[in-house]
Each structure stands twice: as C-alpha cells, then as structure tokens.
Structure 1
C-alpha cells in the first residue's frame, strides 16, 4: 500500500514535551514530502497557531495543508486559500457563551489572528495564547464582538471541573453543535458534525486521495475520529488509553520520535 497523505496532530504528537519538533521527525517528514507525500497538520489550534510549525516543516514549499479548529477550517499552507470551512452562526456562538456563563467558565474566540475574551487573565486563556504564540485582546462584551461567523468558541475550567460538567453542559444543544474536550481544561464548541475525520475526508477527496491511502497520528480524544477514519491510524505511545484502544498501531512516544520511527518502517528513504 502506498500512503499518499499523512495527518498529524501537533501537541503531544508532532511536538515533544519541550514543545519542539525533533530533528528526526522533521527530517522524516521533509524526506516524504520530497517523495510527493502530502502532510496535513490537524489540530484544534486556530490557523495562526499552525503557521510556525508549517513553515518549519516546509509545508509552504511542498504544498501541505492546515486543518485547524479541529476541522472547522482547512487551508493551503502555501497560499492560505480556504479548501473547506464550516462556522458557527452568531446565534450559536451567543448560546455557547451564555451557557459558559451559567457554568462560570472563561470563554474565548479568535479574530484577526488573536484571542478575544472577557477573561484575559484566566490561566487557561494564557495557556492557549502561549501554545499558539498569538496575542490576547480584552473585550468588555464577548457578544458584541460576534460580528462575523466564528470557527470555534473555546471554554476553560479546572480539568476535574470540566470533566464533571461536560455532559450536563451539552444537554441543551443535542446534536446541533460539536462539543467535546481537547485538553483536560478546554471544552470546544464548533458547528454541527465538525471533527478532524470529516474535514480530512473532504480534503482527501478534493486531492483525489483514497481513505485507505491516509495515515493519521494522534494522542488525544479529539484525534480519535481521524485515527479511526485513516487507512492506518496510529496512536502515540503517550496517547490516552481510549485512542490506543482504537488505533491499528501504537508507536513510540512523542519524546522518542514515534512518528519518525513508524514512518521509517513504512517508507523507503526515511531514517530513524
């Protein structure tokens, strides 16, 4: 089987525990792009939060893709052209905000490559800004800045609290929105039926790539859909148990170059 597309989660997968892409992993992915394999960065991050890693891996030169907001937007790393997107309506974003206030959760969204929030000093808002290397803007009214459709509303809370209220939080929305945890302290709210698998399928179809020609690497619950979708779904050694249980392969951890290790076994010309 010749795999033509590789989808990679970032945090805990592509990047090690020091928030770096190791030289082995970088070398493997650049070597495969030279062979014509398409690389897709697939993350819950906003598009702006993927650009540094995309440039480091030369995706702009080789024509890779950025699947951001857990799939709410797919764009070309070379041109920033939108391949696919599905956004929340302003009314849906308002409802998410109002529900967040009922549960005393901080709330943020993204505009102009920045985080907009009423809770600029919230510890997890600060984490999100640092992870994505983007700025924060304090607003007096979250609802007042909802002038355009929104890709994602992100809510924060202590991990044990978010875990305890997740199902109750979702109840009023039924299946009308996609709501799930990414990190233990983040609850993501997106348009209906948004996940990494659905958007990856749209991209693969656009590129004329079959499902069985796709590899996906991940470590978290928001990676589960694309790991199950891919022709070869691979869990990192540091992945949560639920992902490991559904993956076809469990590789080494993100600190042990798990991506490079497995790719060296699949493709010629890739070293580990």
Structure 2
C-alpha cells in the first residue's frame, strides 16, 4: 500500500490574514487524527522555511517534508535542496527592473533582503529574517538567491512578467497576486516539488490559489479551498477543515 501524504499551503489555506489557523482547534484535531492514522504531513508554501518550523513548533505538528518559496526550497530532516536563480539572469533582470516604480525584494534560502522596511499593513511572518541592504548586486553575487519578489501595480507587474518570460529560458515570472510577482527558476514550482519528492506516494493536496494549482497534475486528489475559478480536476471545499474531514472519511473507510 502506498504511503499517504497530505500536502497543504499556508496563506489562505491553513492560515488566515492574521496568521491564525483556519478552522481553529477542529483543523488541528483532524491533522492529528490523520497523522495518527499513518498519514504524512507536508507543507508547501510561498513563505520561507522558518515559518514552517514555527507552525510545527507552535501546534506540535510533525511535518516530515518542508517545501518553501513556492517549491524552490525543499528540506527533509537534515537535507536541503534548492533551485536557485541563474546568477547571470538575475544580474540582467535586476538591471532591467530596478528603475520601475515597484518594490523589489530578494529571497535567499534563509533570509529576505529589503532596501527599506515594509509597509506595516504588509502580511506579517511568524519569524522575521529580513535584512536591510542597499546593494542588491552584491547579494546576487555572494548569496544563494532563490527569487525576486516584486510588489506594485498589476499593469506594471504584467509588463515585467511579459519581458522576463520572453527573454529568459531558465527563469520565469509568476503573478502570485494582483500586487505581487515572483521571479524564480523555471525548475521551481509546487507541482515539480511534489513530482520530485513523492513519486511513490498517494498525495492529497490542499490549496487556495493559482500557485497551488500547479500541484494538481502531481497529486492524486486536490482540494481547492479558495475563491479562484476552480480547475476541472479539483474538489471544491469551503476550507481546509472540510477538506481534512473528507480525507479522514476516505481513509477511515479503506
């Protein structure tokens, strides 16, 4: 029998905008029930790995596989694998975008780099790993850069995405919301992370946004718990709690 893996996103899936568990104690109850039934829990998020660790610690969850930065960074126990930005591409892209009226941030494997503090209204992380640096070119040269996060108006972000996706073969630009764009390796996605790490497992995946929909192709059962238009292969549920209850009922009746 295949090992059962339950993979879920954080923002909008497990966590609300205030970093609280959606579904509260009931969600935690079903996560623990499924763990006790032998299911493996995995988190696949756009956040950095440190926030997965904070969730694991705070709620005493056993997260065997930690997938962060939208599939670019994977940590299993003491092993880390990361799809980094091509340095040549990163230098050229930064030179192209630095004069746009947008906010540019850089993520490495373990830190966020900013040129100025974020707006207080920006969603808060559970662990603050940011550093203020003015010279992004030095960071690109010396650090393991995973991605650029660009924040700005939709029309400007769409223009940047069009340019990057047209000019670069190893690097992709993905709109992650109406006001945010990520530029990262073409080998990085939540779907590819599932493909590369759970080839012999039965996968239940839960997500709420287009970046999560990349998991559909490589999961056996995908639950859409968001407000975006539903892909054909997805099962629609109101929240992660209803998805977990459905998984529990399926596993209990096997």
TM-score bracket relative to the smaller structure: 0.7 to 0.9
Q: Which residue of 1 aligns with 2:171?
A: 177
What secondary structure, in the 3-state scheme, does the structure 2 residue paired with 1:16 have?
Answer: coil
CA drift at 1:195: 0.7
User: 5+ unaligned residues in a row in structure 2: which ranges?
Assistant: none
Change (3 A) 1:23 1:96: farther
Q: Which residue of 2 aligns with 1:110?
A: 107
Q: Which residue of 2 aligns with 1:67?
A: 67
CA contact (8 A) 1:218 1:239 kept: no
CA contact (8 A) 2:172 2:184 kept: yes
* C-alpha distance in 2 between matches for 1:127 and 1:10: 16
How many residue pairs match? The answer is 250
User: 5+ unaligned residues in a row in structure 1: which ranges?
Assistant: none
Please report the TM-score for the alignment, with normalisation by the length of structure 1.
0.81
Say if 2:194 is the partner of 1:200: yes
Structure that is richer in helix per residue: 1
Deviations 1:245-264 (A, max 9, x none): 2343101135xx33333333
What value does the CA root-mean-square deviation take over the aligned residues? 2.6
* C-alpha distance in 2 between matches for 1:163 and 1:98: 17
Deviations 1:139-178 (A, max 9, x none): 12111122033122211113454346532453222x4212
What secondary structure, in the 3-state scheme, does the structure 1 residue paired with 2:252 have?
Answer: coil
Say if 2:178 is the partner of 1:217: no
Say if 2:186 is the partner of 1:188: no
* C-alpha distance in 2 between matches for 1:18 and 1:38: 26
Please report the TM-score for the alignment, with normalisation by the length of structure 2.
0.86
Q: Which residue of 2 aligns with 1:134?
A: 128
Q: Find 1:47's aligned residue among 46, 49, 71.
A: 49
Say if 2:85 is the partner of 1:101: no
Q: Which residue of 1 aligns with 2:249?
A: 265
Structure that is richer in strand per residue: 2
Q: Find 1:123's aligned residue among 119, 125, 131.
A: 119
CA drift at 1:99: 2.7
